[in-house]
Structure 1
Amino acid sequence: MALVVSDSIKRAVESSADEEQQIVKKIRVGGEMVEVHPEFERTSNLMSPTMMLTGHQAAVYSLQFDPSGQNLASGSFDKTIMLWSVYGECTNYNVLRAHKNAVLQVQWSPDGSRLISASADRTIGLWDPNTGKLKKKLQAHSGVVNSCAFGRRGNDMVASGSDDATLCVWDTRMRKPADVFECDYAVLAVGISKDNDQVFAAGLGEVVQVWDVRKGQVSLELEGHHHTITGMSLSPDGSYLLTNSMDNTLRQWDVRPFVQGSRCSKVYTGLQHNFEQTLLRCGWSPSGEQVASGSADRVVHVWDEMTTQELYHLPGHTGSVNEVSFHPKEPIIGSCGSDKVIYLGELS
């Protein structure tokens, strides 16, 4: 049965002062995790230290801040993409409808003028976020499209990965993919290098494949995970790739050329996957000094990039946390979950 979002979208914004929704922060002190209640100095321009956004009618799988930090996009099992204002009351100001199945990932273009979405309806949507109009549907996959990514140079290069075991590279000015790379497994996560010359793909194969776009072949394989890889994120400077796996680890890979020795530079632990096998995603802070991940234990985990120590343990969700996203300009982290809820919270 199709899920329908009414024109009058119910929206709830609650602050951390509300005891029923209060999020207690845990930080590491002297090797131990201690609770810190939100009587702390404000560090962001959010209306309240914690904002709760509701409106989706089913699990929220993806969220991303736009490059300006003024807007947020979220994708859901309810087949919609919602656009939100980050400041003030976090108003839901548009709902994008065109997909016929769940929206599994959303991504902004480098200049914020475009939005792409990966969907279980086997398509990638290309949107104008200013008008809310669908500009184009990219169709080539024969299975669920699990992941999508923009290149960092320009607004036209897009990668997509699917259950059909293909990695597609698109020039969005064209209707057909520029390249289709055959993988050995369902592709659950994709990324593009900072120079747009390499594309990363991972999924059921437990290995990250690095494809040379010009040569059309795998130039490198990153081995170390022991289970399915569900998410990936490139560091702000493009030197490192972060991957999230069902082996309950995040791994950081050095993807610079001519690296000597192991490319797996760090391992972060503490997150959890479970029987639901949700596609949990990960991300970097703008400075590259922190990394974060979704987790099936209903907690947002944030680690120190250098030491791999967990800095924040943020409860509040009542379902799996599927994706986390750092604000591009302020110490704010966003999270979305299977509980249909989005939280925005400021970090100290």
Structure 2
Amino acid sequence: MSGYKPVAIPSYPKLGEKITQDTLYWKQYKTPVQIKEFGAVTKIDFSPIQPCNYAVTASTRIHIYGQYSQEPIKTFSRFKDTAYCGTYRGDGRLLAAGCEDGVVQLFDINGKAALRQFYGHSKAVHFVDFTSDKFRIVSGSDDYASKVWDIPNGIEISTYKEHTDYVRCGCASQLNNDLFVTGSYDHTVKVFDARAEKSVMTMEHEQPVESVLLFPSGGLLVSAGGRYIKVWDLLKGGQLLVSLRNHHKTVTSLCLSSSGQRLLSGSLDRHVKIYSTMNYKVVHSFDYAASILSLALAPDDEMVVVGMTNGVLNVKHRKQEEKKPNTKTHPRYRMFVKGKDYMPKQDDIFVSKPVKQHMRKYDRLLRGFQVSAALDMVLETRTRNSTPEVTVAVMNEINRRGTLKNALAGRDEKQLSSILTFLIKYVVEPRFAPILINVAEKVLDIYSSVINQSSVIDKLFLRLQDTLDKEISYQEELLEVLGMMDTLFATTASKIETVSGETKSISIPDPKNVTAVKPSL
């Protein structure tokens, strides 16, 4: 008994997530707070000044939320129909919004009634923004027109009708008072100068444009439409720099981090992807429960707010770093770390303290030859799901002792269901297959006589058979591919290349070294 050696659990390589600085940074956002709105959330916009309140446009209302409030602190509901694109001015004192009836409304953030109502569009206004001088509003509508409005006088300054389909997005430059961009369902992105009578630049996105975004420097423009995100260089006449296709469905929204080094995109595929603006590679992603229509990042990067088609507003806050008390000066601390930096001398004698090894429960059962109880122990739901390698190692040890058949025999319907469920899940995994196939054969030998006596067991046996049939079919396809590769290698190896009058054979890898991904059954 004293010579018992615990079961050795083999360690298998795991394909885990690559841990980067971005992974650590974006995982610091806490569990989201979810707020139910009256309809699909079509626009989220943060106030550019502290406190970081944000406007949420949904249905016929615009709600203003505080940084940590779960109820709106203010509501604008003076809309006759669906409201769109509630947007803050640069000083955070005014809010502009469009409406399904074609009216652009301007609100004082501290008031309720509209300060101005701009009439001129004949269809729904889906985009509004303030110019950087804060005295004009730019709007785009489903009537294919873009307009510039004067705030003090409440009049229309200019109209542009160059698009041939709905104008659904746009933005104004924060550096140039007269520059603004519009995106349309006619697949084009146009750059306008309010001092000119027509657009000064046109880019072909090749998909209906859902969102556009100007970098703070004003030199780069990002457009999103369909599955594509495209980055344009305005300083080179609208030259396409990069085209990204990392989403599976339409990209609906874009936003930048405060530093401009990270670009965020939301899509109908329920994902938010984060790109590095240095190489435009995905550095992190978030998953959500429903399709995403709107996305915003707080000016201080402390909040990520996402609006979805099911009317849910998802708010994530960054975790605040807690300051830990300084315990290094406490007397107890000095007592316990005393001598930790001592360097042993040549004549010192080391006295090692024996470390007591605690034996696992299944090891204690195996030491007492209780193989059935040990197998039951490792087939518990928590063990078999979180550490299947432990279950397989114990099965292998029981098989090595020659008592696997005894351990599997004499089980009721519940216990047999656990064994079959485990086999169905892991029998085709390469790391477990050699052991579990042997276990499956013994289960079939023992319980072949009870088939057709329990509907639950019969279904599990059929699922196991289906799993094995699919794996065998997969292996046959791999063997066919391997045969094709052998033929190609043999054909290529027969060719001789003549270089500079010398005959040299092409070096071909040995096809016998090519191994299948999964073991044959």
1:167 alignment partner, one of 146, 150, 153: 146
Give the partner amino acid of 2:33.
M
Contact 1:271-1:293 within 8 A present in 2 as well: no
What does residue 115 of structure 2 align with? 135
User: Could you tell me which residue of structure 2 aligns to residue 312 of structure 1?
Assistant: 284
After superposition, residues 264-343 of structure 1 pair within 5 angstroms as 264-273=240-249, 280-316=252-288, 318-343=289-314
For residues 28 and 191 of structure 1, do their structure 2 counterparts lie closer, same or farther at Cα, with a shift above 3 Å needed?
farther
Residue pairs, 1:211-250, within 5 angstroms = 211-223=192-204, 225-246=205-226, 248-250=227-229
Higher helix share: 2
- Residue 54 (structure 2) pairs with residue 72 (structure 1): yes
Report the 3-state secondary structure (helix = DSSP H, G, I; strand = E; otherwise coil) of the residue aligned with 1:191.
strand
- SS of aligned partner of 1:218: coil
Computing the radius of gyration from Cα coordinates, the structure with the larger value is 2
Alpha-carbon spacing, 1:30–1:307, altered in 2? closer, same or farther (3 Å): farther
Distance 1:294 1:254 in 2: 22
CA contact (8 A) 1:68 1:112 kept: yes
1:178 is paired with a residue of what secondary structure?
strand
Secondary structure at 1:161 match in 2: strand
| Segments ≥4 residues shifted beyond 6 Å | none
Distance 1:156 1:271, change over 3 A: farther
2:251 aligned with 1:251: no
The alignment covers a number of residue pairs equal to 300
**In structure 2, do the counterparts of structure 1 residues 50 and 183 end up closer, same or farther at CA, with 3 Å as the change threshold?**
farther
Residues 289-316 of structure 1 deviation map (CA, whole Å, 9 limit, x = unaligned): 1111220011222211122111222113
Equivalent AA in structure 1 for residue 53 of structure 2: N
RCO (CA 8 Å, sep 6+): is it higher in 1 or 2?
1
Secondary structure of 2:200's counterpart equals: strand
Contact 1:241 1:254 in 2 (8 A): yes
Mind listing any 5+ residue stretches in structure 1 that lack a counterpart? 1-26, 44-48
Give TM-score, length-normalised by structure 1.
Answer: 0.79
Distance 1:331 1:237 in 2: 23
Q: Is 2:65 aligned against 1:120? A: no
Show structure 2 runs of 5+ residues with no match.
Answer: 1-15, 320-521
Displacement of 1:346 after TM fit? 4.1
**Do the aligned residues in 1 keep the contact of 2:35 with 2:70 (CA within 8 Å)?**
no
Note the aligned Cα RMSD (angstroms): 2.6
Percent identity over paired residues: 19
**Paired residues of 2:257 and 2:301 also in contact (CA < 8 A):** no
- Residue in structure 1 matched with residue 79 of structure 2 by the alignment: 99
- AA partner of residue 52 (structure 1): V
Instruction: Work out which of the residue numbers 67, 78, 88 in structure 2 matches 1:86.
Output: 67
* Partner SS state of residue 217, structure 1: coil
Is the alpha carbon distance of 1:152 and 1:271 closer, same or farther for their aligned partners in structure 2, counting shifts above 3 Å? Answer: farther
Residue deviations 1:19-74, cap 9 Å, x none?
xxxxxxxx97279xx998x9x6x57xxxxx24424242111111011112520100
CA contact (8 A) 2:23 2:283 kept: no
| CA displacement 1:78-110 (0-9 Å, x = unmatched) | 2100000013x4441111101122222121100
Q: Which residue of 2 aligns with 1:22?
A: none
Instruction: Check whether the contact 2:136–2:151 (CA below 8 A) recurs between aligned residues.
Output: yes
State the distance in 1 between where 2:86 and 2:248 align.
23
Aligned residue for 1:179?
158
How far did 1:237 drift?
A: 2.3
SS at match of 2:199: strand
Contact residue 99 and residue 119 of structure 1 kept, 8 A: yes
Q: Map 1:43-58 onto structure 2 (within 5 A).
A: 49-58=30-39
The DSSP-based 3-state class of the residue aligned with 1:179 is strand
Q: Which residue of 1 aligns with 2:7?
A: none
8 Å contact kept, 2:23–2:284:
no
CA contact (8 A) 2:102 2:121 kept: yes
- TM-superposed CA distance for 1:150, in Å, is 1.3
1:118–1:146 CA contact under 8 A, matched in 2: yes
Q: Is the 8 A contact 1:298 1:315 kept in 2?
A: yes
